């Protein structure tokens, strides 16, 4: 089944063949103005990075649970962590059923597909604030469909397509009146952290050929803009609050993935990140380190130019140095080793440009 076939879009998901862009149209051919997609730095990928990634991927696969999931203890059998782990492996060019780790991704995909409710919500037994996990899982489905829809396994592609449609419908229907999303799939309140998960998921789906209504994205852009403070940073929710660099990284990335490529809000947000979160300055791995840098490196990649040239070597080297020597893992004190390892590997492999989300 090729991308675009069988687009019997469920009610509420597709309303037009519109671009996902909000305030302006996307550049020709999906390219990001000034982005790093087609502007490769010299020595982006080093021998040290290759070694760290090889060890990290081996460690991540060893951490997979018997049911295909990843996660442990309070975040056991977690669809979000499982999706991120699969994305980390796909970032090396593997896809379900193909490549050295293709079987591991396939088992992870089956875990995700087995945990989709009739409503479209993707959540397993231990989900906390399920829209986080739902957003990451929908992103994973979009990337899988974008990388495999033209392959031979049309039955699997059809299952992924159907699941992706249902998951996107849930996102659209649970957007709140401000334009954002919150922990649960109901249109009540919203925050910037959950909102970026949904925007990125919708962008991935759109890249894979799923039609997403322009109104949904326009409203999401309005919400993200409401969350920016005068210092360029982003607060957690629209009404009040201070800036913090992890949510600022999420805010800047939200605008890029919503189709905003040149804007004062982006410039101020990027400047805030350089002033508050530049890697290599001895800040350490504090709260939300992996989450923040997962979005910050994407923001810099999408910005391209001097921003990418300065940020990428710094975060690359910092992550390589922080890898646990005897295990190849990265640990996050809150969400665990599977999460930390998956996030670090996604960050380190962005220059490989395998995932469709980093190509368009």
Give dist(CA 345, CA 360) in Å, integer. 20
Annotate the chain with three-state secondary structure.
CCCCCCCCCCCCCCCCCCCCCCCCCCCHHHCCCCCCCCCCCCCCCCHHHHHHHHHHHHHHHHCCCCCCCCCCHHHCCCHHHHHHHHHHHHCCCCECCECCCHHHHHHHHHHHHCCECCCCCECCCCCCCHHHHHHHHHHHHHHHHHHHCCCCCHHHHHHHHHHHHHHHHHHHHCCCCCCCECCCCCCCCCEHHHHHHHHHHHHHHHHCCCCCCHHHHHHHHHHHHHCECCCCCECCCCCCCCCEHHHHHHHHHHHHHCCCCCCHHHHHHHHHHHHHHCCCCCCCCCCCHHHHHHHHHHHHHHHCHHHHHHHHHHHHHHHHHHCCCCCCCCCECCCEHHHHHHHHHHHHCHHHCCCHHHCC
> Does residue 351 fall inside a structural domain?
yes
> Does residue 102 fall inside a structural domain?
yes
> Does residue 7 fall inside a structural domain?
no
Q: What is the pLDDT of residue 360?
A: 56
Q: What is the pLDDT of residue 152?
A: 58
- Domain region containing 248: 32-358
CATH code at position 55: 1.50.10.20
Closest CA to 245 of 222, 275, 267: 275
Residue-wise pLDDT tens for the chain (360 aa)?
A: 333 333 333 334 433 333 343 333 334 344 445 688 888 899 999 999 999 999 999 999 999 999 999 987 778 789 999 999 999 999 999 999 999 999 999 999 999 999 999 999 999 876 668 999 999 999 999 999 999 876 557 888 999 999 999 999 999 999 999 999 999 999 999 999 999 999 999 999 999 999 999 999 999 999 999 999 999 999 999 998 999 999 999 999 999 999 999 999 999 999 999 999 999 886 677 789 999 999 999 999 999 999 999 999 999 999 999 999 999 999 998 899 999 999 999 999 999 999 999 985
> Does residue 322 fall inside a structural domain?
yes
Give dist(CA 295, CA 254) in Å, integer. 9
What is the token pair recorded at 81?
């962590």
Number of other residues whose CB lies within 10 A of the CB of residue 7 = 14
Give dist(CA 286, CA 160) in Å, integer. 36
- Where do we find the tokens 């440009």? 353
Closest CA to 271 of 329, 310, 328: 310
> Does residue 16 fall inside a structural domain?
no
Q: What is the pLDDT of residue 150?
A: 60
Q: What is the pLDDT of residue 76?
A: 79
User: Total domain count for the chain?
Assistant: 1
> Does residue 25 fall inside a structural domain?
no
Phi-psi region of 99 (alpha: psi -120 to 50; beta: other; left: phi over 0): left
Q: Which residues contact 128 (CB under 8 A, 6 or more apart)?
A: 74, 75
CB 108 within 8 A of CB 338: no
Q: How far is CA 24 from CA 76, 138, 261, in A?
A: 41, 25, 8
Q: How far is CA 286 from CA 209, 289, 300, 333, in A?
A: 38, 6, 20, 9
What is the token pair recorded at 188?
């009540």
> Does residue 198 fall inside a structural domain?
yes
> Does residue 148 fall inside a structural domain?
yes
């Amino acid at each position: 089944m090729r991308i675009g076939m069988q687009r019997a879009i469920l009610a509420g998901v597709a309303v037009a063949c519109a671009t996902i862009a909000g305030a302006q149209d996307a550049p020709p051919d999906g390219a990001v103005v000034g982005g790093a997609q087609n502007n490769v730095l010299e020595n982006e990928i080093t021998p040290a990075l290759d070694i760290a990634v090889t060890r990290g991927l081996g460690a991540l696969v060893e951490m997979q649970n018997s049911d295909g999931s990843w996660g442990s203890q309070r975040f056991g059998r977690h669809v979000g962590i499982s999706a991120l782990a699969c994305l980390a492996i796909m970032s090396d060019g593997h896809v379900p059923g193909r490549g050295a780790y293709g079987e591991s991704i396939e088992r992870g995909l089956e875990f995700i597909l087995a945990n989709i409710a009739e409503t479209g919500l993707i959540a397993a037994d231990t989900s906390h604030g399920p829209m986080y996990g739902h957003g990451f899982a929908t992103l994973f489905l979009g990337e899988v469909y974008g990388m495999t829809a033209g392959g031979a396994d049309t039955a699997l592609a059809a299952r992924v397509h159907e699941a992706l449609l249902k998951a996107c419908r849930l996102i659209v229907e649970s957007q709140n009146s401000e334009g954002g999303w919150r922990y649960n799939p109901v249109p009540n309140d919203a925050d910037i952290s959950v909102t970026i998960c949904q925007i990125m998921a919708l962008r991935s789906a759109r890249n894979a050929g799923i039609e997403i209504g322009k109104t949904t994205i326009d409203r999401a852009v309005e919400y993200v803009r409401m969350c920016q403070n005068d210092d360029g940073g982003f607060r957690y929710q629209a009404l009040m609050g201070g800036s913090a660099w992890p949510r600022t990284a999420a805010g800047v990335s939200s605008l890029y993935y919503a189709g905003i490529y040149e804007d004062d809000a982006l410039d101020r947000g990027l400047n805030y990140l350089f002033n508050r979160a530049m890697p290599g300055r001895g800040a350490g791995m504090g709260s939300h380190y992996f989450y923040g840098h997962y979005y910050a490196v994407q923001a810099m990649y999408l910005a391209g130019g001097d921003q990418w040239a300065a940020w990428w070597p710094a975060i690359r080297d910092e992550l390589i140095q922080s890898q646990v020597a005897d295990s190849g893992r990265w640990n996050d004190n809150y969400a665990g080793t599977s999460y930390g390892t998956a996030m670090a590997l996604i960050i380190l492999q962005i220059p490989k440009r395998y995932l469709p989300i980093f190509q368009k």
